[in-house]
Amino acid sequence: MPEPYAKLSLGLDIGSSYVKLVALSRRPDHWALKHVALSPLPEGSIVDGEVMDSGAVAESIEALFNQLALDERRVISGISGRAVIVKPIRIPTADPDELAQSVSWVAEQYLPSLDDVNLDYHVISTGGDFTEVLLVAAKRERLEGHLMILRLAGLEALAIDVDSFALGNCFEQAEPEAARGTVALVNVGASMTNVNVLAAGSPRFTRDISFGGYNYTEALARDLSLSVADAERAKRGELPDADAAAVDAVVGETTLELVDEISRTLTHFAGTHPELVPDAVVLSGGSSVLPRIKSSFEDTLAIPVRLLDPLARIDLGESGMDREDLATLAPHLAVGIGLAIRGDDPEIDR
């Protein structure tokens, strides 16, 4: 039986092509899915992670809440791309009360001006003379723009997270045993691919790559002389008149571009952290199910590659949604679920 007192935790993932809302409810020993909804964004409202039309994005968000008739208006949302800088640093081990100040001093070496960012950090490891810290700096202008969109939609932000960190939350929930090892999480979205190397449940490296489903659409439109709409359909295998072999060839070539970029990223990371070479790559995101993407990763990286099931270990019975529909939506939900899971953080004032 559902627990009537259990609060909803809302994860709002604002992508380049869709806004995704995930509502979870915390139970004593698991999460329960209450609602999932997606709303398309007008073309051009977000370009390369930059918001071009705040009003249009806010209207799409508001449409989700009206569709679900939700009274809860407090959300956890995320940012990525140029809006945020994530960098591992080492600082001299200090008293916990002095750690924040130490991080600020070191951050001044890497950031043009601390006045232009909101600074945070995540302790990776302590011991000896140095503490390893993941420095997180959100550009204040972009953060304020994100918060303004939420306000326009009538929402309150409980927290603003980093999409790559939300991806890690989702993976730890779905595969707690595997999260004890070292894995590379790769979320292939519409215009951005998030990479998060997770070791023993802690993010050790993140990178956002400006490459995603739009690149496939552009390549198909260019190489096969298709309209953008038909290229989208061909990408999804929904254009009967398309030359299947030609589509497959273009998708394969575009996938190799993405795989090569991620291979260089992981090679660079392994060069500086040879003890943290990933045991596997775990794929998510709406574009992760495109033909040959999994096999291309396996062939190039020579390590196991699998698709993440973001809904694993989540009770789906209370959502009232058809299981096949949920399975179709699942690849799109990793970041949204990870954001909603953040609602269980005791540091968030609910």
| β pairing state of 31-40 and 74-79 | unpaired
What's residue 312's pLDDT? 97
- Domains (ranges, CATH) in the chain? 1-81+139-175+309-350 (3.30.420.40), 176-307 (3.30.420.40)
Whole-model pTM: value is 0.94
| Cα separation, 101 vs 34, whole angstroms | 41
What's residue 1's pLDDT? 46
What's residue 3's pLDDT? 52
Nearest to 196 by CA among 292, 284, 297, 123: 284
What's residue 5's pLDDT? 45
Helix (H, G, I), strand (E, B) or coil at 347: coil
Helix (H, G, I), strand (E, B) or coil at 277: coil
Nearest to 297 by CA among 249, 348, 237, 256: 256
Place of tokens 């894995």: 183
Residues with pLDDT less than 70, the chain: 1-6, 350
